[in-house]
Structure 1
Amino acid sequence: MKKFSVICAAAILLAIPGVAQASATPDTTPTTPHSFTGTLDVQKSLGIWTTCNVDAKVQVTSGVPRLQSVTLSSGLICPGITFTGLPSAPLDVSALPVVKVPAVTVNIAFPSGTCSGSLSFIWGGNGPPTPRTITFQDVLSNIPGVPASSPPCRIRGVLSQTAATPPLSVFNP
């Protein structure tokens, strides 16, 4: 009876939205993650949006997707924006098409600032259209500022999966 109770408790936990782990296909090797590139606008302490070229990598191991890395380039400010806490915990897909990357920290060199928390985006994939897309929307994709009284890191724009990697499909098992 004790084993039955444990099995029932595990089944209930997996049925609760946000507790089930994300699943994705196909698996990747450490040298060939799924690559997404594009242009994003970011804003923190400056009153204007800064446009950056972005290269994001998603690693899938045993069907579990994680944000592996994010690199920003172009201009004077973008290379000074870094993401830490990667690779991330498994992506939260309980509210697909909204996907959440838990516990991300963004450090900005100029003007100096930090943001930390979850990063949400809209997943555009699992079939046509190809390429797959990740859409960041102002407000939905904001990461809280540190300290909490400081402005959030605001992100908007679209990244597309490059043709060099197989199409990524993300789903809630």
Structure 2
Amino acid sequence: MKSKIVWFITIIICFLLQCTILNLISIGSITPNLMLILTVSMGLMRGRKMGLWTGFFSGLLVDLFYGSLFGFYALIYMYIGFFSGYAHRIYYDDDIKVPMVLAAVGDILYNFAVYGLQFLLRGRLGLHTYLFRIILPEAAYTVFLTLIVYRVFRFINYRFMDIARKESESMWVIK
């Protein structure tokens, strides 16, 4: 129960930071995607199921406050969290390169999904402009923030969510 409360509070704090402080440090109207970093981190550290649920609730918050189509961001974040959870048993979560690569790939896929479903279907065909002015700078900025924030998420995971992690790694628990 304690780990679920800490997990929920982490999602709320990251959303508040995404909406307030990260908008203040935006460079050329490009802000890093902290909710995506949280989703990738939880998927990598805790597995597919936790990545999926983290992505769902993160995307749900984005949908509630900023989305025009309800459930769109929740679906994208869910997929990113679920697929980043595949790396849970393959890679060690103390290596910083894996979350950086997962955050970069996740951010690029996220932005292509947003472009394809919100711009391309409306007839706006400026993919070259969108790619070089929004997608790649945001991915680079998100990867840079991953260097800093991932260690905080890893500390929270091992300090406050340790009980559930030990249960999920037990060979006696069937998934």
| TM-score, normalised relative to structure 1 | 0.34
Which structure carries more strand by proportion? 1
Which structure carries more helix by proportion? 2
| TM-score, normalised relative to structure 2 | 0.34
